[in-house]
Structure 1
């Protein structure tokens, strides 16, 4: 049902993690090296348990864990790896985690029923090409899709991206026929000639491209902000341990700083967590844009474009309700976004 449920089986999902190194170079200076324990306030009690899974924008957390950057920044955190992304979202909603790495649309989907609330406190990245619309030979524009059949998984981010593209072209979803299939099945249907287009993420678009004459029509690179990947924590944690949430946010930017200074070592750590060789890891193309602190501040701010999450959240909520993916989103969409922690980091840097 959700975008990244197959991430752990897909090498192609690691397109672009090396882009983190370049983006991290713009991050403010932070404490990226483990410090003496006397220099960091002691953190007592049970650690916050944070879930994450195999998406490039979330793998830097493995570096924070291995290099002691959580401790160096006063964060008492236990990372919990999930082979299945959907399971991590279900665990957060059920109160089994204190935080999780997930997309904005999935946060909207789960927030209304989450027992402890769900709040985005950090933008890790945006998909910047990893999500694509693939079309058959002879289709060269969105207008050419009119009356054609597109295989996709309704309600997920690639459906949303395609809908935005159609609207930009003066069209709507009613101008095409949606063949609603699980993403892997949708790619197979397109590859076998049962549809004229396909929308999805790797490795499934690589399967779709096996069809002779097929090609990429558009990707998330042209729709910045449409697919933000986030650190989401419970409202309970924010209320009871705001200092720990701040420490996690600080740790994230310290990790980006570490990556910028130690790219080779960092790539090895992320490759190991992904289960691929460092050589394979480096070979993938950029498809993920890691966010700087400046981009975080812009993303959380009010605005009238998809780069602004308050605007994007409303668009995503309305879209998912319209297509019947959810009955209703959170009563207050603003409550699932909290910019206070990235603002505090920016002010202290």
Structure 2
């Protein structure tokens, strides 16, 4: 189930687990250099290069180059992987941009996004029955995982269509139940992600009226690392960048080796090569380090993260915050959003730049 754990159960975590960065941050003891690191991951098409790289020896190749050891550790539940990172059990983790902001960063854990791996380019969608235009959603009950990326997608679609959140009513539905719920004749609107989305599209009368392809670059998938650990161990960042772009170059090949790599990733995800390829088709991978650097340094990233943080604040995900500025973010080029004195989410393109310049 390629994306089953990526956003599911986020809502449950958000309601009680967050502490506001500006009032919870305590001085941290200096982190000493070390030689072994643990990186958590969960199953999603855009993150499967990590376990494949470990299986194929690419992780060892780059770790050996920098005299360190890197363990790529699977966690079966996505939210639990982010929880464990936030609690300090992992040095880094695969995570969406929204969750990086609303879980570790909003909880006071200084976090650096060092790999911008991909964005959802159709993996998330809004479905209606009996209509082929988004405007027909007005007045309907919309089934989705509340406070998830699905909820964010719905909010952006409403905004783009000149509608308000009050024009619809959301019905909180788990990712495990969304397919069954949409099969009921009484349910005529839903928001989902793949693979559930692809199944729901096949139901009678279902039409996709909006997708993440219409907000490119807003739903991002990242590799983040604890900032203090990264500062004390810059070779970790170099090795991770080398691993990622080495694996990207292989999986994008259209020859037998590339096909074999993607098939191995599909197996690691517990799915077929055909399903995995269909997932990749709606995942915009930043396979070239130059494109990843460009995306990370573009003004569009600041704009999209402003939208994400405004959504998060409006829906109470910055628990106890007086404004959306409570959690500070920094970007390539020195731009900041929010409280510059309490920056806890940093988009650091320095290691991707080293890859782009051939200096790893």
For 1:79-98, what aligned pairs fall within 5 Å after superposition? 79-98=72-91
Deviations 1:234-277 (A, max 9, x none): 01211210121122112211111222452122123212211234
Partner of 2:294: 298
Relative distance call for 1:174 and 1:225 in structure 2 (3 A) is: same
Match of 1:264 among 250, 259, 262: 259
Deviations 1:273-313 (A, max 9, x none): 1123446645667121111323312322241x4xx2x2222
CA distance in 1: counterparts of 2:173 and 2:274, whole angstroms? 34
Partner of 2:209: 217
Asked if residue 54 in structure 1 is aligned to residue 29 in structure 2, the reply is: no
Deviations 1:193-252 (A, max 9, x none): 343310011233245345421121121122211211000100121121012112211221
Shift of 1:185: 3.3
CA distance in 2: counterparts of 1:284 and 1:236, whole angstroms? 34
Relative distance call for 1:338 and 1:68 in structure 2 (3 A) is: same
Relative distance call for 1:239 and 1:92 in structure 2 (3 A) is: same
Shift of 1:179: 1.8
- Which has the larger strand fraction? 2
Partner of 1:65: 54
| Segment drifting more, 121-130 vs 331-340 | 331-340
Query: Retained in 1: the 8 A contact 2:238–2:351?
Result: yes
Show structure 1 runs of 5+ residues with no match: 10-43
CA distance in 1: counterparts of 2:7 and 2:276, whole angstroms? 14
Match of 2:220 among 228, 240, 244: 228
For 1:100-119, what aligned pairs fall within 5 Å after superposition? 100-112=93-105, 114=107, 116-119=109-112
CA distance in 2: counterparts of 1:190 and 1:205, whole angstroms? 10
Partner of 2:284: 289
Partner of 1:239: 231
CA RMSD of aligned residues (A): 2.6
Partner of 2:29: none
CA distance in 1: counterparts of 2:267 and 2:244, whole angstroms? 19
Secondary structure of 2:100's counterpart equals helix
Shift of 1:126: 0.9
Partner of 1:179: 171
Shift of 1:316: 0.7
Partner of 1:274: 269
Shift of 1:57: 0.9
Query: Retained in 2: the 8 A contact 1:153–1:180?
Result: yes
Shift of 1:5: 5.3
Relative distance call for 1:159 and 1:269 in structure 2 (3 A) is: same
Show structure 2 runs of 5+ residues with no match: 9-32, 331-342
CA distance in 2: counterparts of 1:49 and 1:144, whole angstroms? 47
CA distance in 2: counterparts of 1:186 and 1:102, whole angstroms? 22
What's the TM-score once normalised by structure 2's chain length?
A: 0.77
Relative distance call for 1:106 and 1:190 in structure 2 (3 A) is: same
Relative distance call for 1:326 and 1:346 in structure 2 (3 A) is: same
Query: Retained in 2: the 8 A contact 1:95–1:116?
Result: no
Query: Retained in 2: the 8 A contact 1:154–1:325?
Result: no
Partner of 2:197: 205
Partner of 1:145: 137
CA distance in 2: counterparts of 1:144 and 1:271, whole angstroms? 37
Query: Retained in 2: the 8 A contact 1:99–1:233?
Result: yes
CA distance in 2: counterparts of 1:269 and 1:190, whole angstroms? 32
Shift of 1:150: 1.1
